[in-house]
Structure 1
Amino acid sequence: MQNNTRNICVLRLSALGDCINAYGLICAMKKASENISVSWVIDSRFASLFVDSNGNELVDLIKADIKNQGILKTFVSLRKRLKHKRYDYLLNIQTSIKASILSLCIKAKTKIGYDKQRSREGQRFFVNKIIDTPQDPHVLSGFLSFAKSIGLDEIKPVWDFCLTKNELTKAEELLNTDKKVFCISPASAKSIKNWTVDGYSAIAQYAHEKGFDVVLLGSNAEKEKKLCSDIESKLSFKCNNLCGKTSLRELCAVVSKSSLVLSPDSACMHLASAQNIPVIGLFAIHNPNRVGAYNFRDIEVSVYEQEAAKELKEDNVSWRYRVKNENAMKNISISDVKKAFDLAVSKYIEV
């Protein structure tokens, strides 16, 4: 009997939010056909999100430890691991030169890269096929165009983090409430994309008055812990500060048990959207049409358009333009976020 399995390698190293969106592509491809096998080359820092508490990988993970090994040692170890592996397709959905260098270790009949509008850092010299230009500028729509390029038309992103009973129980213990849960994940990987302490604390207070338990989320990074601590210090009530107290899997489970999330452009925003948890995304630096919460664009709050137009002194702004004003996020008003909160509650939470 002929083996019709198509072996696909997805190359997406980082960042965590993009990896979450990449997982939506991977799950969609696997759902589209039982004759698809997928391996994923990913930065080892983010791989743990895709391994359940029993040690089972959700997809065949090929970890690249670039941060500790550097690009040269990572290249050598990756080439050794993949020496006897052959793929039908390489989907190189990251345009960085590091990703392109590592793609040389991956043997594939067809190596697919971005269209001319999206390709950067010489990626075109490392591929032999490019995707059609997607009409939608969103990062995830670009990912889905790679699936279309190998004949998987009209698929929609889908995510299954396979949270175990133990992981969900731990999340319930961490939350320790029977009330509706409002999570604030205030920090992005880049501080320039964070909103203000006064803004976050005002919305936390507003949510508390509406009957929500307020939970603060974040990594173990000192700047994130300080931000959450500063927010907590301004509240008139005791919130549940879980910043630095969860692994990536535990964070995923906590978000899955939430009613509503508030976050700037961050991994937690994408994690909520991926699990169909309403999330209010906050934007000023990057275009939300490109990086917004894929499933909840209707409740985002953005001043990006105004800020970009002011800098360029024109209304016709490129979809990939990055706002330069480091104080742009301060122009998001508390009243607009309250309106988004009320809309989210009425549309997604209240019965």
Structure 2
Amino acid sequence: MSNNPYHILITRLSAIGDCIATMPLAAAIKQAMPQSKITWAVSCAAKQLLDICPDVDRVIVVPKRYLRQPSELLAMRRMLRQEPIDCVLDPQSLTKSAALGWLSGARLRIGFAKPRGRELAPWLNTVSVDGDPERHLIDAQATLLKPIDIVPSKPQFHLNIPDETLAWAKQHVQECVDHPSPVIINPGAGWDSRLWPTERYAEVATWLHREHQIPTLVVWAGDRERGFAEEICSASNGIAKVAGDTSLVQLAAVLKQAKLFLSSDTGPMHLAVAVGTRCLSLHGPTRPELSGPYGPQHLSIQKARFDGSSRERRGADNWSMQAIPVAEVCAGLTQMLSMSSRAAA
């Protein structure tokens, strides 16, 4: 199979972090079948990153509510059938993603069985793979390759960040904090239940400056997160600095400059992993062994585990994040900084 042209559609529509965590799937396909063509259907800002992923040949933008609009549904069918698709991999395994595979006309449509496969996906896909809910998302998604006889090696992330963007990021970080490799913080999160208090991030920034003489740069996206960043800067008496507005590709380049990255379970955390920056992630309503930073070089902290449904966890307040004390985060950063020092020695 690896020597024959093979057109594969990946239907991971959202969210940004999950799309990033799916990139190793495309890398494994290209490694096993270099002549294959990979089309990726997406409906979120992760398109910016897929456009610079060398393992993806074509990106299709899917309207978020395409299933509710007959004209958009027919337009998606026409677009997907412009070129025959041999196989669909559906790592999202929801109705909206599995329906794209069905619309494509591909006879082989691989998704997850329940419980990872939800709604109508297990019926719309032709092959259902056991997606063990106790495995990390990256490992679980790798099992989708078994029906096409691909055994992936260590997960790989490939992003071709333009040289001019890397140069811009280096200059931007230096101008913000007068240091080439600060600790970078991202205080935002897709769910309010994943937010760690801004005043605690400010305490960490103050401690890093006092104990390790390391500056802190706060990245953000949107007005709300910019407000969080400004709160951290104010509460730390200006020790933490606020980064400028960035695209996702620019953010990837900025994260590449970081000594360490600190955040909750967010898209930027997965992006930091993808560009090779070590992460300390904070978890409350999500489990680090399932969706935390992938690999032994990272650390995760969880003090209170919230095991409700996805809807319940999304709609909760951030009590489980508030259970994480500043002292434990500082201890984790100390451990990671010590590891960096030993590696550099």
TM-score by length of structure 1 reads 0.87
Say which is worse superposed, 60-69 or 118-127, in terms of deviation.
60-69
Correspondences of 1:61-100 after superposition (within 5 Å) = 61-66=59-64, 72-100=70-98
Give me the whole-angstrom Cα distance separating, in 2, the residues matched to 1:259 and 1:29: 31
2:163 paired with 1:159: no
Partner of 2:290: 290
Aligned to 1:213: 215
Question: C-alpha separation between the residues in 1 aligned to 2:311 and 2:147?
Answer: 23
Shift of 1:57: 9.1
Within 2, Cα distance between the matches of 1:70 and 1:238? 49
Q: CA deviation at 1:287?
A: 1.6
Deviations 1:110-169 (A, max 9, x none): 101102331111211101111244485211112111122311114222111111210100
Q: Given the superposition, is the C-alpha separation of residues 180 and 225 from structure 1 closer, same or farther in structure 2, using an over 3 Å criterion?
A: same
Consecutive unaligned residues in structure 2, runs of 5 or more: none
| 1:305-327 residue CA offsets vs partner (Å, 9 max, x unmatched) | 4x54xx8xxxxxx9999487522
Conserved? CA contact 2:279–2:298, under 8 Å: no
Give 1:236 shift: 2.8
Matched AA of 1:235: S
Label 1:56 to 1:124 Cα distance change in 2 as closer, same or farther (>3 A): closer
Give, in whole Å, the separation in 2 of the partners of 1:251 and 1:11. Answer: 24
Do the aligned partners of residues 165 and 323 (structure 1) sit closer, same or farther apart at CA in structure 2, a change above 3 Å counting?
A: closer
1:271 aligns with 271
Amino acid aligned to 1:215: L
Calculate percent identity across the aligned residue pairs: 22
Separation in 2, partners of 1:144, 1:69: 28
Q: Secondary structure at the match of 1:300?
A: strand
CA 1:264–1:3: 2 relative to 1, 3 Å: closer
2:125 matches 1:123: no
198-207 or 62-71, which moves further after superposition?
62-71
Structure 2 partner of 1:247: 247
The equivalent of 1:335 in structure 2 is: 327
| d(CA) in 1 for partners of 2:314, 2:12 | 25
* C-alpha contact 2:38 2:56 (8 A) present in aligned 1: no
Q: Deviations over 1:72-98 (max 9, x none)?
A: 444222112122322221001112222
Distance 1:65 1:22, change over 3 A: same
Deviations 1:160-200 (A, max 9, x none): 11112101001012101444311001111112201011211
Indicate whether 1:47 and 2:18 are aligned: no
C-alpha distance in 2, partners of 1:23/1:266?
16
Q: Please tell me whether the aligned partners of residues 12 and 94 of structure 1 are also in contact (alpha carbons under 8 angstroms).
A: yes
Partners of 1:142 and 1:73 lie apart in 2 by 35
Paired AA for residue 40 in structure 1: W
The CA distance in 1 between the partners of 2:325 and 2:284, in whole Å, is: 12
Distance 1:348 1:145, change over 3 A: farther
1:80 is aligned with what amino acid?
R
Q: 1:323 to 1:253 in 2, by over 3 A?
A: closer
In structure 2, the residue matched to 1:315 is none
In structure 1, distance between residues paired with 2:314 and 2:239? 36
Q: Aligned letter for 2:264?
A: P
3-state SS of the aligned residue for 2:87? strand
Paired residues of 1:8 and 1:38 also in contact (CA < 8 A): yes
CA distance in 1, matches of 2:310, 2:341: 32
Q: What is the rounded CA distance, in whole Å, between the counterparts of 1:349 and 1:58 in structure 2? A: 37
Listed one character per residue, the Cα deviations across residues 224-283 of structure 1 (whole Å, up to 9, x for unaligned) are 11111111111133433115x111100000001111000101001101112221111100
Per mean C-alpha deviation after superposition, the further-off stretch among 19-28 and 58-67 is 58-67
3-state DSSP class of the match of 1:118?
coil
Q: Which moved more, 1:58-67 or 1:202-211?
A: 58-67
Partner SS, residue 212 of structure 1: coil
Are the counterparts in 2 of residues 17 and 266 from structure 1 also a CA contact under 8 Å?
A: yes
- 1:67–1:321 distance in 2 versus 1, CA, 3 Å: closer
Rounded to whole Å, the distance in 2 between the matches of 1:297 and 1:72 is: 47
2:333 counterpart letter in structure 1: F
Q: Which amino acid aligns with 1:217?
A: V
Match of 1:180 in 2: 181
CA distance, structure 1, for counterparts of residue 54 and residue 291 of structure 2: 30
Of 110, 131, 136, which residue of structure 2 is paired with 1:112? 110
2:100 corresponds in structure 1 to: 102
SS at structure 1 position matched to 2:295: coil
User: Normalization by structure 2: what TM-score?
Assistant: 0.89
Aligned residues: 337
Quick one: distance in 2 between partners of 1:47 and 1:203? Answer: 33
Shift in CA distance, 71/254, structure 1 to aligned 2, threshold 3 Å: farther
In structure 2, the residue matched to 1:314 is none
